[in-house]
Structure 1
Amino acid sequence: MRVGAAWAVAVDWVRERMSADPGVRGAFFSGSTVGLAVWQAEGGRDWRHGDG
Protein backbone atom coordinates (compact mmCIF):
# COMPACT_ATOMS: atom_id res chain seq x y z
CA MET A 1 0.00 0.00 0.00
CA ARG A 2 1.30 3.42 -0.87
CA VAL A 3 1.54 6.01 1.86
CA GLY A 4 -1.06 8.26 0.24
CA ALA A 5 -3.57 5.40 0.19
CA ALA A 6 -2.85 4.62 3.85
CA TRP A 7 -3.36 8.28 4.74
CA ALA A 8 -6.71 8.28 2.95
CA VAL A 9 -7.85 5.27 4.98
CA ALA A 10 -6.71 6.97 8.19
CA VAL A 11 -8.50 10.21 7.29
CA ASP A 12 -11.74 8.31 6.65
CA TRP A 13 -11.37 6.49 9.98
CA VAL A 14 -10.85 9.74 11.89
CA ARG A 15 -13.80 11.42 10.17
CA GLU A 16 -16.06 8.51 11.08
CA ARG A 17 -14.93 8.63 14.72
CA MET A 18 -15.28 12.41 14.90
CA SER A 19 -18.88 12.23 13.76
CA ALA A 20 -19.70 9.53 16.34
CA ASP A 21 -17.64 10.77 19.31
CA PRO A 22 -17.35 14.49 20.13
CA GLY A 23 -14.25 13.72 22.19
CA VAL A 24 -12.30 12.84 19.03
CA ARG A 25 -10.96 16.06 17.56
CA GLY A 26 -8.49 14.80 14.96
CA ALA A 27 -5.23 12.93 14.56
CA PHE A 28 -1.65 13.53 13.55
CA PHE A 29 0.86 11.70 11.41
CA SER A 30 4.44 11.21 12.44
CA GLY A 31 7.54 9.32 11.46
CA SER A 32 8.96 8.48 8.07
CA THR A 33 5.54 8.34 6.42
CA VAL A 34 5.28 12.13 6.54
CA GLY A 35 8.29 12.70 4.28
CA LEU A 36 7.53 9.67 2.14
CA ALA A 37 4.01 10.84 1.32
CA VAL A 38 5.31 14.24 0.21
CA TRP A 39 8.01 12.58 -1.87
CA GLN A 40 5.49 10.30 -3.61
CA ALA A 41 3.05 13.19 -4.18
CA GLU A 42 5.83 15.11 -5.91
CA GLY A 43 6.44 12.26 -8.36
CA GLY A 44 8.96 10.17 -6.45
CA ARG A 45 9.27 6.55 -7.38
CA ASP A 46 8.55 3.70 -5.02
CA TRP A 47 11.70 1.55 -4.83
CA ARG A 48 9.69 -1.41 -3.46
CA HIS A 49 7.98 -1.83 -6.82
CA GLY A 50 11.16 -1.75 -8.85
CA ASP A 51 10.44 1.55 -10.55
CA GLY A 52 13.26 3.60 -9.22
Structure 2
Amino acid sequence: MLGWAVTFFIIAIIAAVFGFGGIAGAATGIAQFLFFVFVALLVISLIANALRGKSPKV
Protein backbone atom coordinates (compact mmCIF):
# COMPACT_ATOMS: atom_id res chain seq x y z
CA MET A 1 0.00 0.00 0.00
CA LEU A 2 2.89 2.32 0.69
CA GLY A 3 4.11 1.59 -2.83
CA TRP A 4 0.79 2.82 -4.23
CA ALA A 5 1.07 6.02 -2.19
CA VAL A 6 4.57 6.64 -3.55
CA THR A 7 3.37 5.91 -7.09
CA PHE A 8 0.55 8.44 -6.88
CA PHE A 9 2.93 10.97 -5.32
CA ILE A 10 5.31 10.59 -8.27
CA ILE A 11 2.39 10.94 -10.69
CA ALA A 12 1.38 14.13 -8.88
CA ILE A 13 4.89 15.57 -9.16
CA ILE A 14 5.12 14.77 -12.87
CA ALA A 15 1.65 16.21 -13.53
CA ALA A 16 2.54 19.38 -11.61
CA VAL A 17 5.74 19.83 -13.64
CA PHE A 18 3.78 19.61 -16.88
CA GLY A 19 1.08 21.97 -15.62
CA PHE A 20 -1.81 19.57 -15.15
CA GLY A 21 -3.14 21.07 -11.92
CA GLY A 22 -6.30 18.99 -11.66
CA ILE A 23 -4.55 15.69 -12.17
CA ALA A 24 -1.76 16.68 -9.78
CA GLY A 25 -4.28 17.63 -7.10
CA ALA A 26 -6.22 14.40 -7.49
CA ALA A 27 -3.09 12.25 -7.43
CA THR A 28 -1.84 14.09 -4.34
CA GLY A 29 -5.15 13.49 -2.58
CA ILE A 30 -5.08 9.79 -3.40
CA ALA A 31 -1.45 9.48 -2.27
CA GLN A 32 -2.22 11.25 1.00
CA PHE A 33 -5.25 9.02 1.65
CA LEU A 34 -3.31 5.82 0.93
CA PHE A 35 -0.43 6.95 3.14
CA PHE A 36 -2.71 7.54 6.13
CA VAL A 37 -4.48 4.21 5.58
CA PHE A 38 -1.06 2.54 5.53
CA VAL A 39 -0.03 4.24 8.77
CA ALA A 40 -3.33 3.30 10.45
CA LEU A 41 -2.96 -0.36 9.41
CA LEU A 42 0.64 -0.35 10.65
CA VAL A 43 -0.40 0.95 14.07
CA ILE A 44 -3.25 -1.57 14.31
CA SER A 45 -0.88 -4.37 13.36
CA LEU A 46 1.70 -3.32 15.96
CA ILE A 47 -0.94 -3.09 18.70
CA ALA A 48 -2.43 -6.47 17.79
CA ASN A 49 1.01 -8.05 17.81
CA ALA A 50 1.82 -6.52 21.21
CA LEU A 51 -1.48 -7.68 22.70
CA ARG A 52 -1.07 -11.20 21.37
CA GLY A 53 1.75 -11.72 23.90
CA LYS A 54 3.22 -15.03 22.81
CA SER A 55 5.81 -16.41 25.19
CA PRO A 56 9.27 -17.11 23.78
CA LYS A 57 10.02 -20.74 22.93
CA VAL A 58 12.74 -22.35 24.97
Which ranges in structure 2 are unaligned for 5 or more consecutive residues?
47-58
Aligned length: 38
Q: Are 1:10 and 2:8 counterparts?
A: yes
| Residue pairs, 1:30-49, within 5 angstroms | 30=33, 33=34, 34-35=36-37, 37-38=38-39, 39-40=41-42, 42=43, 44=45
- TM superposition outliers: structure 1 runs of 4+ over 3 Å: none
Q: Residue type matched to 1:4 in 2?
A: L
TM-score normalized by structure 2? Answer: 0.47
| Residue pairs, 1:13-28, within 5 angstroms | 13-21=11-19, 23-24=20-21, 26=25, 27-28=28-29
Percent of matched pairs sharing the same residue: 5
Cα distance between partner residues in 2 of 1:10 and 1:43: 24
Q: Which is higher, the Rg of structure 1 or of structure 2?
A: 2
Cα distance between partner residues in 2 of 1:16 and 1:5: 17
RMSD over aligned Cα, in angstroms? Answer: 2.6
In terms of fraction of residues, the more helix-rich structure is 2
